[in-house]
């Protein structure tokens, strides 16, 4: 596919972005990996199934000739790399929390910027036109609904009108901004996509080819699983509940668990849950101990959460029986008093 698209003069990664409605998708990342492998930056290993892994070529270190999205892919693979094992390609598509979303934004932004520079995409309306339309529609709709509520329902002075005005105005504002400020293909972009799809249709790719192996291997893991490199080799672990899976165990088994343990672990996922009217925000981390089939997952203090990153080796002090978090520290750090 990459060679066929390249023959049209359009970068294969940009073409894949356009074909996926100008949004990030595993197929877009796969094109970047294939491009890096063809240039010698990545060495791909794969089996006969759907597993593929990559090793960054150590002898290459001049990034000057690479596109920003390819540099982002290399940085992501380098950040997750183990000393003696190739990195599974699905770390590029499997959500491991805040770190993944930061990387994805960087990757997608670089592609969108290039597509805009090349005249392949454009916004439905410019910034000034969008705000003018939004303000006009919001004022008209809010005035109409507010007047209707005030006349028909006769609420307490101003209350119903103000409530309806605020609610409807917010809805109109949100929907209109989302639609008018969204990206769309330009005429040039549509022609480029048509040419790319025609080139792909005439150049069928074998699933067993190196490029086919990359596309199969870059498929993300299920949402309740994550990659762990603890111990120097990659394995897939299930995500334990932050509320404690031990509560589902029979009482006799739960009572046999130790009251408190300190285990060497690796941070394999970190994410935050926004607060609401009746709850505080939660800052969560999943830890792999290298032996369990699931992670130890806890909501931890915000300051501690910000100090951790995916891949960090730590000592986890917790209560397996009560699923209670006590402390997490660096491997060589002394326990807190």
**Which pLDDT belongs to residue 234?**
95
Domain ranges of the chain: 2-123+184-217, 127-180, 225-330
pLDDT value of position 159 = 57
pLDDT at 180: 47
- Tell me which CATH code domain 225-330 carries: 2.40.50.660
Query: What's the DSSP call for residue 204?
Result: -
End-to-end CA distance of the chain: give it in Å, rounded. Answer: 60
d(CA 32, CA 218): 11
Tokens at 106, concatenated: 């960087």
Write out the chain's pLDDT in tens, 337 residues.
555 555 556 888 999 999 888 888 999 999 999 999 999 999 999 887 788 999 998 877 778 889 999 999 999 999 899 988 999 999 999 998 888 999 999 999 999 999 999 999 887 655 566 666 666 766 676 666 666 666 666 655 555 556 556 666 656 555 555 444 567 888 899 998 888 888 877 776 766 688 888 999 999 999 999 999 998 899 999 998 888 766 666 777 777 888 899 999 999 999 998 887 667 899 999 999 999 899 999 999 999 999 999 999 999 999 988 889 999 998 876 776 5
Pick the closest to residue 103 from 144, 75, 127, 134 (CA basis). Answer: 75
């Amino acid at each position: 596919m990459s060679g066929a698209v390249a023959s049209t003069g359009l970068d294969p990664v940009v073409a894949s972005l356009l074909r996926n409605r100008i949004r990030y998708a595993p197929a877009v990342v796969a094109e970047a990996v294939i491009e890096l492998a063809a240039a010698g930056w990545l060495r791909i290993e794969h089996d006969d199934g759907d597993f593929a892994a990559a090793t960054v070529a150590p002898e290459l270190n001049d990034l000057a000739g690479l596109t920003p999205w390819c540099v982002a892919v290399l940085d992501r693979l380098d950040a997750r790399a183990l000393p003696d094992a190739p990195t599974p390609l699905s770390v590029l598509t499997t959500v491991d929390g805040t770190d993944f979303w930061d990387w994805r934004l960087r990757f997608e932004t670089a592609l969108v910027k290039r597509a805009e520079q090349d005249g392949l995409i454009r916004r439905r309306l410019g910034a000034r036109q969008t705000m003018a339309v939004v303000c006009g529609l919001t004022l008209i709709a809010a005035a109409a609904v507010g007047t209707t509520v005030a006349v028909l329902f006769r609420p307490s002075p101003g209350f119903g009108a103000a409530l309806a005005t605020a609610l409807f105005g917010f809805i109109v504002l949100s929907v209109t901004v989302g639609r008018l400020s969204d990206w769309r293909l330009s005429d040039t972009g549509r022609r480029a996509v048509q040419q790319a799809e025609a080139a792909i249709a005439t150049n069928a790719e074998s699933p067993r080819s190196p490029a086919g192996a990359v596309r199969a291997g870059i498929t993300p893991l299920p949402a309740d699983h994550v990659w762990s490199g603890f111990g120097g080799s990659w394995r897939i672990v299930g995500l334990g509940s932050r509320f404690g899976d031990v509560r589902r165990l029979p009482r006799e088994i739960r009572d046999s668990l130790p009251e408190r343990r300190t285990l060497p672990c690796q941070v394999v996922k970190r994410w935050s849950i926004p607060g609401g009217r009746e709850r505080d925000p939660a800052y969560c981390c999943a830890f792999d101990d290298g032996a369990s089939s699931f992670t130890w997952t806890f909501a931890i203090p915000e300051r501690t959460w910000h100090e951790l990153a995916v891949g960090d080796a730590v000592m986890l002090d917790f209560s397996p029986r009560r699923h209670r978090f006590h402390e997490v520290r660096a491997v060589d750090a002394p326990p807190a008093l």
